[in-house]
Structure 1
Amino acid sequence: MKYSHPLRTCFIWLFWLGVWQGASLLINNNILFVGPVEMAASLWGQLDQTSFWLTILCSFSRISLGFLGAFLCGILLGSLAYISPLIRELIEPVMLLIKAVPVASFVILALIWVGSGNLAVFISFLVVVPMIYINTLSGLGSTDRKLLEMARVFRIPLRKRIHYIYIPALLPYLISGCKTALGMSWKSGIAAEVIGIPRGSVGEQLYYSKLYLDTAGLFTWTFVIVVISALFEQLFLFMLRKIQR
């Protein structure tokens, strides 16, 4: 894959920031739309506030917990489904149901079941589990049959089969699946917070920004979500690629 020159990438970002600021000046209404300058000013005004960082930490811990739980659970369920066709047949309807039911329906049910405090954890978990499950099943299914046959002939222990045969086949599928799952966990988790409004969350701040027509604040918190989500994604994928190498 060819990557753009850093200088060219910088100019592209500057171009779109200019378009964004130009649109803001053209609209000239801070309630309808704000530019990067207004958003940066709003962000700068919050950086020295302890509550700002606690809010980010609170939402980050909930969503990352839901994702990590779904990651482990998806691998476990996918592995069991690969081993046993019966387990696979039992799990498939549940996964299809989770994928088909709208997130909003799960959010409303989860508010009754787990309350607003654990809502983001639960929703992030539900959204991610089917993605990891499918990619785990696909990865294990792509394992080289000749290598498995050789392992059986030479009676290679199961631990070494997992380490040298199954994991190398599985990791590319997990990395590919996580690229989508990580973004979806944040989108669904924040959406759940906006609906449930748990105290001290990013979703609560987005809700109040909408309530008080604070468009600069809305853009600021959206920017924060994008940055934190991107950093978490890069860190997690870096660790998976480290394992792969």
Structure 2
Amino acid sequence: MKRVRQFFSRYRSGLQRAGAVLLALAVWQGLAMGVGQKLLVPSPLSVVERLGGIWQEADFWGTVWFTFRKIVAGFLLGLGFGLGLGALAGRFPLFEILFRPWATMIKSIPVASFIIICLIWMSSSRLSIFISFLMVLPIVYTNVLQSIRSADRQLLEAVSIFRLSWPKRALYLWLPQLKPYLLSACTVSLGISWKAGIAAEIIGIPAGSIGRMFYDAKVYFNTVDLFAWTVIVVVISVLFEKGFLALLKGVFGRLETL
């Protein structure tokens, strides 16, 4: 009995997550049985069976790679520009004032409006890059700016008094200050970039994309495929988020040991 208690105590968090997943699957199965229409709500088993065969199709990996590299490219562009523009706004108040209307506009305009407008300017194959970039940019920018504004003024004065070089200021002052804000920004923006990127592909319908698979599933009333591709997007998004955040934490950890 003691060993059982120790087991549950040690793996409590994992067991709770597994229980939550099982409960969600049970609710899904109950809903599918209650509706009784595979066209409306397919059962978890039918979706799992489809997942078992979908990855063996000839164009599966090409489709996943097409969407993955587009959305990741948009995320990285948004991250880079957000860091740069946030640093400029924190350093020069006039820049923050001038950029404020653009940041507000990007945050306020609905994603669908951006997608439709951008379809006039660029090809559908590049649309998910730009939309992911637009969704990530204001989140990273705001967090970087906030991290600079919340810096300890007394510590800043001490750094100026001792005349530390800019590399040392960045390493010992700004990086520790930026770390929690940047990790928070990436945690939020990673999921949003995938949602917005897939939405852009569904509207733009570029050939060979996951968004095209969603569109075809809707046109042909293939609800099982719709659910299967949704599961695939969720898995890819979560894996990329976990991997990128682990990499980012590792980079911060290495820099902190210098």
2:14 is the counterpart of 1:6? yes
* Residue 219 (1) aligns with residue 231 (2): no
Q: Cα deviations across residues 54-94 of structure 1 (Å, max 9, x unaligned)?
A: 11111010001000000000000000001111111111111
User: How far apart in 1 are the matches of 2:26 and 2:192?
Assistant: 29
Distance 1:80 1:8 in 2: 44
CA RMSD of aligned residues (A): 1.5
CA shift at 1:149, angstroms?
A: 1.5
| Pairing 1:84-233 to 2, within 5 Å after superposition | 84-233=92-241
* Structure 1 gap segments, 5+ residues each: none
2:57 maps to 1:57: no
Distance in 1 separating the partners of 2:158 and 2:115? 48
Q: Secondary structure at the match of 2:59?
A: helix
TM-score by length of 2: 0.91
Name the CA distance, whole Å, in 2 between partners of 1:17 and 1:10. 11
1:48 aligns with 2:72: no
Deviation at 1:33, TM superposition (A): 0.6
Question: In the alignment, which residue of structure 1 is the partner of 2:5?
Answer: none
Residue-by-residue CA offset, 1:154-212 (whole Å, 9 max, x unaligned): 11101110111001101100111111111110111100000000010000000000000
Identity %: 43
Query: Separation in 2 of the partners of 1:123 and 1:158?
Result: 34
- 3-state SS in 2 of match to 1:50: coil
Find the partner of 1:76 among 68, 81, 84: 84
CA drift at 1:125: 0.5
Q: Distance in 2 between matches of 1:5 and 1:180?
A: 22
Q: One-letter code of the match for 1:97?
A: M
Aligned residues: 244
Structure 2 distance, partners of 1:184, 1:4, is: 30
Of 230, 234, 243 in structure 1, the residue corresponding to residue 242 of structure 2 is 234
Name 2:26's counterpart in structure 1: 18
| Aligned-partner residue type, residue 57 of structure 2 | Q
Residue range with higher mean Cα deviation, 102-111 or 216-225? 102-111
- Structure 1 residue 26: Cα displacement: 2.1
Deviation string, structure 1 residues 86-128 (Cα, Å, up to 9, x no partner): 1111111110111111111111111111110100000000111
Q: Amino acid of the residue matched to residue 168 of structure 1?
A: P
Shift of 1:4: 4.0
| 1:66 has 2:74 as partner | yes
Would you say the 8 A contact 1:139–1:173 is kept in 2? yes
Shift of 1:11: 2.8
- Mapped to 2, the partners of 1:99 and 1:169 lie a distance apart of 24
TM-score normalised according to structure 1 size: 0.95
